[in-house]
Amino acid sequence: AIRMTQSPSSLSATTGDRVTIACRASQDINIYLAWYQQKPGKAPKLLIYGASTLQSGVPSRFSGSGSGTDFSLTITYLQSEDFATYYCQHYSSYPLTFGGGTKVEIK
Residues in contact with other proteins by the rule CB under 8 A = 1, 32, 34, 36, 38, 42-46, 49-50, 53, 55, 87, 89, 91, 94-101
Least Å distance between CB 76 and other proteins?
Answer: 23
Q: Which is nearer to other proteins, 38 or 72 (CB)?
A: 38
Least Å distance between CB 29 and other proteins?
Answer: 11
Residue 19 Rama label (left phi>0; alpha psi -120 to 50; beta): beta
Q: Which is nearer to other proteins, 32 or 62 (CB)?
A: 32
C-alpha–C-alpha distance, residues 75 and 96, integer Å = 25
